[in-house]
Structure 1
Amino acid sequence: MTSLKALLPLAVLLLLSVAPTETTVVKMIEKCVKIFVKGNPPNIAGILEGANILDQNRYKPICQTFRNTRTFVTLYDTKNKIPVFSAGKYIGDHEGKRPKPSPWMIEPQLEDTKGDNSMAPENNQETYKNQAVKKDYENKLGYDKGHLFPCCYGFNQIVKTSTFTLTNIVPQNINFNGGTWKNMEQCIKCVMDHYCSNKEAYVVTGALHSTGKTLNNRVNIPSMLWSAFCCYNSEKKQWLASAFWGKNTEPESNYLDIKTLGSLHKELGIEVFPETECPSDTTVATVYPDLYSKCNCKDKA
């Protein structure tokens, strides 16, 4: 297990703009690292390795906050103006619904202001140099505001609403977002509801930036999106995990294949749950062959 000392670089960065006092930082470490299995954040080649962010000027961790509640964590790329990943815990869909109209919010602390790290309504958007703003998505050219940590994974209305921050959003092909990717999110949700003890699971979703492809000359349009989950199943007395990824283009299929964490690491250089018991060589479909009869995870034969 990774020691608290080893986690300190990431945890401090997660909270460096909350308050200048050490006491507050220690308090927030306890809250934020629980988002990850055993407190271990992902390893992403060239970006985040061994809980250390390699370019701390560019990549900013955000302990997402709404109405004084910490909800999930995002690692944000201020150069490309999209998240690298968002990570959260799924403990069931207890109450609340998708807010209408969508309350798109920004993160004041990314702009080197004296803001308090809480989400805020977007005002005076021209002042935000380090993040995407709503105006960037007005001429979206076939792209949606695609969530990384989904609204539907929120336990209550506070968590659901908190996902509507532009630091949790990437430009996503409309048909990929509304079809294949939506099906994948519902597949994972169904798996977590049926096979994860106490409906408790760790979920991480990320985006791979493209080279030179932008929305309105400001926001990078990612080339690919990926998602993975890990949870403990008390019936089998074992950990379950699976991964999904697909190109951010017109979809060729209605569903993404359920793959292993090991294949995600090999193909994309992303180790989602390092130094944990999350299995790297099996999927939930391997452990539970009846999965496809319970969850809408692939085209019916």
Structure 2
Amino acid sequence: MKLLMFLLLPCLSLSEVGDNFNNCSQFFLNGVHPHFSKPLSPSIKHICQCLKVNGKVEYFYATLYNTAWAIPVYSAYEFGTPSPVRKDYWYIEPQLDGGNNAEPCMGTQGEATGANQALNRDYVGSVESGYDKGHLYPVYHTNNSLSMQATSTLTNAAPQNSSFNRIEWKEHERNVSNILKVCDQAYVVTGVVPKDEEYIPNNNNPRVRVSKYYWTATCCVKNNVFTGQGYYGPDIDNNGVNIVRELSITELQDKLAIDYNLNITIFPGVPRPSDCYGDKVSLSPVSWNGSADIYLSLTGVGKS
């Protein structure tokens, strides 16, 4: 029941970390962020991911972060021409632990307590346990050195199966890049469904939830025509091999409704029916029969 509880119930903030995406709505299709069918929990934080450049705040993408899981629910961004260069240092979000008086943009870990987010020390032993820090907004989808740098925050990462991250999901990110390069504009939302009560093994205090699978939704705008595609993985094919499964946005939302235990509309800024969703008719609600723990941690209330 804990999973859904941590997604529901609202609040207000003028900071870069708070309860709305007012400062970074440009990273959502038509300025509208994904919609859940119930209010989200106080443990869910909206992060307008930013860096200070020459003293000025610059925004790069948006993240819905679950402080109870210590991983994101999703990150959303506008696709850019790929920038393959990467640097392996990891920022945190000071306001998650320090409140609105802390620095508004991502920064070094310093004296951070990690009370409301993952720190590098939480990932000690993760590689030996078979997990990488898997980006949601990947380097392959950035378009300059600053946006690449901004992806390297632990609020944009979750424990992902190492082999899958380095092979199948990496190839998926490249394939999506090749598809979206022809678009006039392209918007992407990548999220995580966690495993039930499974954490990175850590002798001190295991608290970072491990991913069950990653999911991605894309919507390409070309000549005022919307075309969408959904993906998730790892999934197992008939030969027992990990793969990235392709499906329509509608089918992806149906799957997430089951696993999150509440309905989600990923691109509510697109009129329905729409080719972005791969459907021609409106959908009926999906029955919730997934993890009550996930439902609880998203919504803050028990599943009835």
Find out whether 1:139 has 2:125 as its counterpart.
Answer: yes
Which residue of 1 is the match for residue 214 of structure 2? 225
Counterpart of 2:211 in 1: which secondary structure? coil
SS at 2:60 equivalent: strand
- Report the equivalent of 1:175: 163
Q: What secondary structure, in the 3-state scheme, does the structure 1 residue paired with 2:245 have?
A: coil
Q: Deviations over 1:136-170 (max 9, x none)?
A: 11110110000001112111000001000000010
The answer to whether structure 1 residue 34 and structure 2 residue 26 are counterparts is yes
Taking the aligned partners of 2:269 and 2:33, their CA distance within structure 1 comes to 10
Q: CA deviation at 1:69?
A: 1.4
Query: Is 1:109 matched with 2:95?
Result: yes
CA contact (8 A) 1:228 1:242 kept: yes
SS in 1 for 2:277: coil
The residue aligned with 1:243 is: 230
SS where residue 211 of structure 1 aligns? strand
Report which of the two has the higher share of helix: 1
Q: Show structure 2 runs of 5+ residues with no match.
A: 1-8, 258-263, 280-304
Taking structure 1 as the reference length, the TM-score comes to 0.75
Q: Equivalent residues in 2 for 1:116-135 (5 A)?
A: 116-125=103-112, 127-135=113-121
User: What SS is found at the alignment partner of 1:182?
Assistant: helix
Pairing 1:259–2:247 present? yes
Letter in 1 for 2:106: M
CA distance in 1, matches of 2:138, 2:249: 20
Distance 1:166 1:266, change over 3 A: same
Q: Which amino acid aligns with 2:179?
A: V
Contact 1:176 1:249 (C-alpha < 8 Å) held by counterparts: no
Match of 2:48 in 1: 63
Q: Is the contact made by 1:18 and 1:117 (CA closer than 8 Å) also made in structure 2?
A: yes
2:61 maps to 72
* TM-score of the two chains, using structure 2 as the length reference: 0.75
Distance 2:268 2:181 in 1: 24
Report if the CA contact (8 A) 2:17-2:45 is conserved.
no
Q: Which residue of 1 aligns with 2:79?
A: 90
- The range that moved more, 106-115 or 71-80, is 106-115
| Superposition deviation, residue 19 in structure 1 | 10
CA contact (8 A) 2:34 2:266 kept: yes
Which amino acid letter does the alignment assign opposite residue 123 of structure 1? G
Q: 1:267 to 1:254 in 2, by over 3 A?
A: closer
Counterpart of 1:274 in 2: which secondary structure?
coil
Counterpart of 1:298? none
Q: Residues of 2 paired with 1:150 and 1:253: CA distance? A: 23
Q: How far did 1:39 drift?
A: 1.5
SS in 2 for 1:223: strand
Paired position in structure 1 for 2:277: 280
Following the alignment from structure 2 to structure 1, what is the Cα–Cα distance between the partners of residues 28 and 16?
Answer: 20
Amino acid of the structure 2 residue aligned with 1:60: K
Give the equivalent residue in structure 1 for 2:176: 188
CA RMSD of aligned residues (A): 2.8
Q: Which moved more, 1:110-119 or 1:178-187?
A: 110-119
Q: 2:40 aligns with which of 42, 54, 59?
A: 54
Letter in 1 for 2:192: A
Q: Read off the aligned partner of 1:112 and give its amino acid letter.
A: G
Structure 1 outlier segments of 4+, above 6 Å? 248-251
